[in-house]
Amino acid sequence: MNINQYLALLFCWLFMLNAKADDANSCQLEQQHVFAQYDINDVTKQGNKTLQQLNLYRLDNQVIHQYEHNNIGLWWTKTSHNRLMLNRFFDHEKRVIEYQADEITGSFDWHTKYQLINEEFLTKMKLVKSTGEACNTEQVLTYQSAETTYQLVWLPNLKLIKSLKVSQAEQIISQWSLVKYSLASDKAKEKFTQLLDYKSTDYADIGDNENDTFYRR
């Protein structure tokens, strides 16, 4: 291989590396505007099975969790001052109730809202294998506690759970499955735009609005 061939090969290699980095960066941007839908199968101690469908919407520093069967949704905003503001919205009534922003500490874990799994827990999990590239990168991770086994298929560049199995005594007690998702999602933008048009009230003001039948409930 002469020097020119060597340089050409190096250039191609660097180009590929750069293209991969661009893909990853692209994922990083696209995953900020996401709509994702999950099926959640839970099994109670009595053996009863329940199926719920959870919709996850992300738009920059805002996240919505809404169960399909439920009129009520949770809408979190991470403010520029690293505080978390919670709103509850009610689609049927087109109303929003606002809570005062609080510091993101303790139970106010932003990652749990944003990607449905605690970041610290993720780092504790053992990487079993990694496949795919860029947006399609998948990681299989496991974690074993005294009684419980977790098996996670994680999309690290999208910050999405693909699947999660939680087992105890070889019985699956909870199983999450990503049914569908869209990146750079218009659906997410539409959802947040829709909420801005709902009538909003501070929770502190509900007591002064007893004549409003919505608040009375």
Determine the 3-state secondary structure of 77 from DSSP.
strand
Amino acid letter at 47?
A: G
Closer residue to other proteins (CB): 62 or 66: 62
Q: How many CB atoms lie within 10 A of CB 207?
A: 8
Q: Specify the DSSP element, H or E, that contains 148.
A: strand 148-155
Closest contact distance (angstroms) between CB of 85 and other proteins is 5
In the list 81, 126, 129, 180, the residue contacting other proteins (rule: CB under 8 A) is 81
Site string for other proteins, 175-204 (x = CB under 8 A): ---------------------x--xx-xxx
In the list 99, 110, 143, 181, the residue contacting other proteins (rule: CB under 8 A) is 99
Site string for other proteins, 102-131 (x = CB under 8 A): xx----------------------------
DSSP output for 53-69: EEEEEEETTEEEEEETT
Closer residue to other proteins (CB): 2 or 213: 213
In the list 28, 79, 136, 194, the residue contacting other proteins (rule: CB under 8 A) is 79
Instruction: Report d(CA 149, CA 171) in Å as an integer.
Output: 10
Instruction: Report d(CA 27, CA 34) in Å as an integer.
Output: 11
- Name the nearest CA neighbour of 194 among 54, 98, 97, 96: 96
Closest contact distance (angstroms) between CB of 192 and other proteins is 9
Closest contact distance (angstroms) between CB of 122 and other proteins is 25
Segment near other proteins (CB under 8 A); pick from 65-73, 94-102, 109-117, 173-181: 94-102
Residue reference for tokens 């539409």 = 190
62: tokens are 């805002």
216 counts as binding other proteins under rule CB under 8 A: yes
In the list 100, 130, 136, 148, the residue contacting other proteins (rule: CB under 8 A) is 100
Residue 143 sits at the vertex; the CA angle it makes with 126 and 109, to the nearest 5 degrees, is 95
H helices of 76-178, where? 110-115, 119-124
Task: Provide the binding-site residues for other proteins, judged by CB under 8 A.
Answer: 61-62, 77, 79-81, 83, 85-86, 98-103, 196, 199-200, 202-204, 206-211, 215-217
